[in-house]
Structure 1
Amino acid sequence: MHWLFLLLAGLAEVTFAFCLNKAKLSAGNESVGWYVAFAGFSALSFYLLNLSLSQLPLGTAYAVWTGIGAVGTALLGMVVFGDPLTGPRLFFLTTLTGSVLGLKLVSV
């Protein structure tokens, strides 16, 4: 269950990054709505991370949380916002994903 909390926390981190970028690209009341969503998903992400820490080691949970956020946000940026898709970028995202999965496998 705690790994599920951590996965959801990472996905909430990707979502708050998405909201932050949408806020930057919009104006007026629409921008305010995206900032409110950013704050809500940020709070949700930290809350779920905190729940996962009751059973998972801090170093592992934090590394997995930031890894999910980094890989998810990079992929989202490439697919939704047109960020560059290059070989080296994919290579390092793959190695980061492998490291996150490795931490899960060696965790208690």
Structure 2
Amino acid sequence: MPIVWNLKKWLAIERDIYRPSELQALLASKAGVQLSLQAVSALINGKPSALRIQTIQALCNALDCKVSDFFDVLPDSPKELTKQSKASNHKPSRLYGDKKQPKKQESIFPDPHQFPNQGTNG
């Protein structure tokens, strides 16, 4: 899915913010949120692979804007959809990786069914 992340450009044009430390200070003062300089720098300088809703809300509060001002999610092109469908053999795929069955924990007690009947007492 094409994600258009224009935060750096938008900050420069709309808010005259060029350095991560400026955005960090704005987030602290206007949104009451403390993000590390590394986290703020990552938001400005590249498209994040994951983003919490609380972070988006803090950005919008601090910058007095809507998320659509600096971030768009566009639908995949028909070519990309076809490519994804072929890669998954036309079956829906999980968004967050394969669901693996949990490993069966070994019990400290032996399974009574694994031993043959020893006969009866008597």
TM-score, length-scaled by structure 2: 0.26
Instruction: Name the structure with the higher strand share.
Output: 2
- Relative to total residues, which structure has the larger helix share, 1 or 2? 1
Largest Rg, 1 or 2: 2
TM normalised by structure 1 equals 0.28
